[in-house]
Amino acid sequence: MERRVFLKNSSILAGGLLAANKLNAVNLEVPPIRIAIIGCGDRGKGIIHILNKMPDKYRIIAVCDVLDFRLESAKKISGSASWKTYKDYGQMLSSEKLDAVVIAVPLYLHYPIAVETIKSGCHLYLEKTMTYDIQQSINLVGLMRGRKRQILQVGHQYRYSPLYYRVKEMIEKGSLGKITQVDCRWDRNGSWRREVPNKNLERAVNWRMYKAYSGGLVAELLSHQIDFINWLFDTHPDEFFATGGIDVYKDGRETYDNVQVMLRYSKIGLIGNFGSMCGNARDGYLFKIKGTLGTVSLLIDQGMFYPEKKTQPSKEIIDGVTGASKIGWDKDGGFPILLQKPLDGTVYAFEDFHKRILDGSTPDSNVLTGARTAISVHLANEALYTKKKILWNKDFDV
CATH of the domain at 210: 3.30.360.10
Q: What percent of the chain has pLDDT above 70?
A: 87
Whether residues 351 and 338 share a domain: the answer is: no
CA 45 to chain centre: 16
- How far apart CA 325 and CA 314 sit, in angstroms, is 11
pLDDT attached to residue 326 = 39
355: which DSSP letter?
Answer: H
Within 13 Å of residue 1, how many CA atoms lie on the same side as its CB?
Answer: 13
Parts of the chain with a pLDDT under 50:
1-27, 315, 322-329
In a domain, 264, yes or no: yes
- How far apart CA 122 and CA 12 sit, in angstroms, is 13
Question: pLDDT tens digits, residue range 145-199?
Answer: 999 899 999 999 999 999 999 999 999 999 999 999 999 999 999 999 999 999 9
pLDDT attached to residue 23 = 33
Q: How many domains does the chain have?
A: 2
Whether residues 153 and 112 share a domain: the answer is: yes
- How far apart CA 174 and CA 271 sit, in angstroms, is 18
In a domain, 398, yes or no: no
pLDDT attached to residue 80 = 62
Whether residues 261 and 351 share a domain: the answer is: no
pLDDT attached to residue 73 = 92
Whether residues 174 and 238 share a domain: the answer is: yes
pLDDT attached to residue 11 = 41
Whether residues 155 and 169 share a domain: the answer is: no
In a domain, 372, yes or no: no
In a domain, 322, yes or no: yes
Burial 227-261 (b: 16+ CB within 10 A, else e): bbbbbbbeebbbbbbbebebebbeeebebbbbbbb
Are the beta carbons of 129 and 215 closer than 8 angstroms? yes
Q: What is the number of residues in the chain?
A: 398
Whether residues 319 and 353 share a domain: the answer is: no
Question: pLDDT tens digits, residue range 277-334?
Answer: 999 999 999 999 999 999 999 999 999 999 998 876 554 555 555 443 334 446 677 8
In a domain, 238, yes or no: yes
Whether residues 102 and 16 share a domain: the answer is: yes
Whether residues 151 and 182 share a domain: the answer is: no
CA 261 to chain centre: 19
Helices 367-386 and 223-233 pack at an angle, to 10 degrees, of: 130
Whether residues 306 and 171 share a domain: the answer is: yes
Whether residues 28 and 87 share a domain: the answer is: yes
pLDDT attached to residue 75 = 87
In a domain, 396, yes or no: no
In a domain, 397, yes or no: no
Whether residues 141 and 250 share a domain: the answer is: no
CATH of the domain at 74: 3.40.50.720
Whether residues 169 and 309 share a domain: the answer is: yes
Print the domain residue range for 137.
3-159+347-367
